[in-house]
């Protein structure tokens, strides 16, 4: 049997076996019936002109210029020839006007807003994936559920999106079972796979998102996409697909620890070794290499290599980072960035500082207190994150109700600020900086690929609770540095008051949420200890909870143990040194954290279960 056919069968089996649209929505199953477009023969996967039989033009030559009016409003008439129903048209236009920018972020607008839409009219699988994404994304943006309460139920947008998703899967099966797949076919399949990943993430179904990323990576390796000879017209699409899968793989890496046998992830490099002699010609080339470098950093496996082998790999990555710095500085000295490139520079520098922080910890190879020496890096991460968020705040949010424009969670496909802010808030023990990082996470709720800022903020809150309430050194430090009650926030960074930074909306019943009671109790206890906590922005607990707060404080006091000699602000023994992320249910994740003392004494980690929004 042909290897390509075997791969297609494996891919389809994973798609069909993981379909949970009936159990997840409660509606009657309509199966995987033949739902390709009515204007197409059922056995054909692409549109062709039987009368002329002319060869297809290249995508670059077939592109139609986009007028400003065509992209100004979310429901504008599509600039492409269209076929399909009215709902398909509206959601196709929504994808063009709104969703494409969420997928492209700082780079890739031509690929997602032009090339992909042009090709979609030749491939039903891609067409239905686009209309499904537009519908599900519209539902995400218009949902009025508070950002701290998990969404439940369904609506017309979700129902239509799932129906289109079903059609896309069926059309994908027809395409992949062809005897021959052209390079163009392969690129369309991978693009559709990216859309399937985003669709799953938007619904909070991360296990499905993982499955689609894994299948995409397998196809990239099977087709040797990174080693193909491509034309200049194909280069943009191939680069964007490789970059997208590199970023998605990087996001998933932290989840692999402890779940290797379950997830069965591939460790084959998506992009080969970087050439030290390469000179960047564009900012995009520099960004591409930076993401590849970051992916290789996250792929380091401390359980499979000896200390000597790890030291060699870490030194190699450090040298590659230094080379990247020099090449990037040279590029900037020889060019005048455009307005869009200037917007991207803060984001690229943020990614570089995040990578620098992780590498610094590995290079020094010391205990967890090494983070105390990385304050300049953490400060840079926070400053750059603020700049990125300020740019985001001016981005139009079509589809979001006016009352929620500044507080509704947004969605982007690639990593931006969640990961570096989470890293800073959990690893930097300087109270002001870590609270500033948490403040930004809570202030601008968002989902970046599979990473959710609202969930990250809850984990950070738990880490701060464990470290600062159990470490006598931390409590003593706060007591010695706190100001009188009337000026307790004087030493803290000012709370942004400009219109783009408004407090997030929370549910009036959010005390029933897993961490709301804990968070309120933390705030009162810390205030009782004269610890400045205003950037956490926790709601004040009512006096009726005094007994519960006292009991919580008593339990915390009982768990305190003598501090170790190392570590500023929080001693080495009481620091959270290990975190594990486990897929728990379809829409839930279990997080387990251990302090240094927990590991030393062989204690069970502290667990929490969170639900994606």
CA distance 314 to 259: 24
End-to-end CA distance of the chain: 44
3-state secondary structure of 508: coil
Q: Residue for token digits 């990216």?
A: 194
pLDDT band at 400 (very low <50, low <70, confident <90, very high): low
Residue 233, token pair as written in the block: 């017209």
pLDDT of 230 strictly over 90? no
Q: For residue 4, with 0-12 CB atoms within 10 Å meaning exposed, 13-18 middle and 19 or more buried, which class applies?
A: middle
**Does residue 611 contact residue 587 with C-beta atoms inside 8 Å?**
yes
Give the integer Cα–Cα distance in Å for 513 and 125. 39
pLDDT at residue 196 in the model: 96
At 476, is the pLDDT very low, low, confident or very high (cuts 50, 70, 90)?
confident
Q: Which helix (H) or strand (E) holds 321?
A: helix 307-333
- Using only C-alpha atoms, the chain has a radius of gyration, in whole angstroms, of 25
Mean pLDDT of the chain: 74
For residue 24, pLDDT over 50 is answered with: no
Q: How much is the average pLDDT of 273-302? A: 88
Q: Looking at residue 402, what is its pLDDT?
A: 54
pTM for this entry: 0.76
Q: Name the 3-class secondary structure at 564.
A: coil
pLDDT in tens, 153-172: 778 888 999 999 999 999 99
Q: Tell me which of 144 and 27 has the higher pLDDT.
A: 144
Question: Running DSSP on this structure, what letter comes out for residue 544?
Answer: G
How high is the pLDDT of residue 410? 86
Dihedral over Cα of 458, 459, 463, 464: its sign: negative
**Nearest CA-CA partner of 119 in 61, 33, 197:** 61
Query: Using alpha carbons only, what angle is made at residue 499 by residues 495 and 502, rounded to the nearest 5 degrees?
Result: 55
DSSP class of 572: G
Which pLDDT belongs to residue 234? 84
For residues 72 and 402, what is the distance between their CA atoms, to the nearest angstrom?
A: 17
436-441 mean pLDDT: 94
Pick the closest to residue 134 from 182, 85, 88 (CA basis).
88
**What pLDDT is stored for residue 378 in this prediction?**
96
| pLDDT confidence of residue 295 | 94
Q: What element of type H or E holds 315?
A: helix 307-333
| 31 Rama class: left (phi>0) / alpha (psi -120 to 50) / beta | left
Beta strands 576-585 and 588-595: pairing type?
antiparallel
Domain spans of the chain?
A: 1-18+80-258, 387-611
Q: Check pLDDT > 80 for residue 258.
A: no
Higher pLDDT, 11 or 88: 88
Q: Rounded to whole angstroms, what are the CA distances from 531 to 213, 428, 488, 489?
A: 44, 17, 8, 9
Q: What is the pLDDT of residue 51?
A: 34
The predicted model gives 35-54 an average pLDDT of 34
CB under 8 Å to 541, separation ≥6 — which residues?
520, 521, 523, 524, 549
Of 59, 60, 92, 98, residue with least CA distance to 77:
92
SS3 assignment, position 611: strand
Helix ranges (DSSP H) in 365-430: 375-393, 418-427
> Phi and psi dihedrals of 557, rounded to 5?
-60, -35
Reported as a single tens digit per residue, the pLDDT across 293-352 is: 999 999 887 666 677 888 888 899 999 999 999 999 999 999 988 887 888 899 999 999
């Amino acid at each position: 049997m042909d290897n390509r056919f075997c791969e297609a069968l494996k891919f389809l089996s994973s798609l069909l076996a993981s379909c949970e649209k009936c159990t997840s929505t409660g509606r009657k199953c309509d199966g995987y019936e033949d739902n390709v477009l009515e204007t197409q023969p059922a056995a054909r996967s692409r549109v062709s002109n039987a009368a002329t039989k002319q060869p297809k033009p290249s995508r670059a030559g077939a592109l139609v210029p986009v007028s400003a009016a065509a992209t100004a409003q979310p429901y504008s008439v599509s600039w492409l020839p269209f076929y399909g129903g009215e709902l398909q048209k509206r959601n196709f236009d929504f994808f063009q006007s709104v969703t494409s920018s969420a997928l492209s972020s700082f780079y890739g607008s031509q690929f997602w807003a032009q090339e992909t839409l042009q090709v979609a009219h030749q491939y039903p699988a891609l067409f239905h994936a686009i209309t499904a994404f537009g519908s599900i994304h519209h539902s995400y943006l218009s949902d009025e559920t508070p950002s701290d309460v998990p969404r439940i139920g369904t609506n017309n947008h979700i129902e239509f999106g799932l129906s289109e998703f079903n059609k896309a899967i069926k059309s994908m099966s027809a395409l992949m079972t062809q005897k021959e797949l052209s390079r163009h076919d392969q690129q369309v399949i991978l693009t559709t796979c990216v859309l399937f990943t985003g669709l799953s993430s938007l619904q909070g179904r991360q296990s499905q998102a993982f499955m689609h990323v894994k299948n995409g990576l397998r196809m990239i390796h099977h087709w040797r996409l990174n080693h193909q000879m491509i034309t200049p017209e194909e280069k943009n699409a191939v680069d964007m697909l490789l970059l997208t899968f590199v970023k998605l793989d990087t996001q998933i890496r932290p989840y692999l620890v402890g779940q290797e046998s379950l997830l069965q992830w591939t460790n084959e490099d998506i992009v080969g070794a970087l050439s030290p002699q390469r000179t960047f010609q564009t900012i995009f080339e520099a960004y591409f290499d930076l993401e590849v470098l970051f992916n290789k950093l996250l792929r380091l496996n401390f359980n499979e290599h000896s200390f000597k082998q790890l030291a060699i790999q870490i030194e190699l990555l450090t040298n590659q980072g230094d080379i990247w710095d020099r090449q990037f500085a040279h590029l900037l000295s020889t060019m005048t960035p455009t307005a869009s490139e200037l917007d991207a520079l803060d984001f690229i520098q943020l990614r570089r500082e995040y990578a620098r922080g992780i590498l610094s910890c590995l290079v020094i190879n010391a205990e967890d207190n090494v983070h105390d020496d990385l304050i300049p890096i953490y400060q840079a991460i926070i400053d750059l994150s603020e700049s990125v968020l300020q740019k985001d705040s001016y981005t139009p949010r079509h589809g979001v109700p006016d009352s929620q424009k500044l507080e509704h969670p947004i969605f982007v496909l690639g990593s931006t600020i969640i990961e570096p802010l989470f890293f800073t808030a959990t690893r930097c023990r300087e109270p002001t900086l870590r609270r500033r990082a948490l403040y930004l996470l809570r202030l601008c709720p968002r989902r970046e690929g599979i990473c959710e800022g609202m969930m990250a903020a809850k984990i950070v809150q738990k880490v701060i609770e464990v470290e600062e309430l159990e470490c006598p050194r931390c409590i003593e430090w706060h007591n010695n540095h706190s100001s009188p009650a009337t000026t307790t926030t004087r030493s803290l960074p000012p709370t942004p008051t400009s219109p783009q930074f408004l407090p997030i909306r929370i549910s009036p019943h959010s005390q029933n949420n897993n961490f709301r009671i804990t968070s309120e109790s933390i705030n009162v206890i810390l205030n009782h200890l004269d610890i400045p906590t205003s950037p956490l922005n926790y709601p004040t607990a009512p006096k009726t909870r005094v007994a519960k707060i006292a009991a919580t404080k008593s339990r915390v006091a009982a768990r305190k143990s003598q501090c170790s000699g190392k570590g500023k602000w929080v001693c080495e023994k009481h620091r959270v040194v290990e975190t594990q992320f486990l897929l728990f249910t379809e829409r839930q994740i279990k997080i387990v954290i251990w302090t240094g003392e927990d590991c030393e004494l062989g204690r069970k980690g502290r667990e929490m279960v969170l639900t994606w929004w």
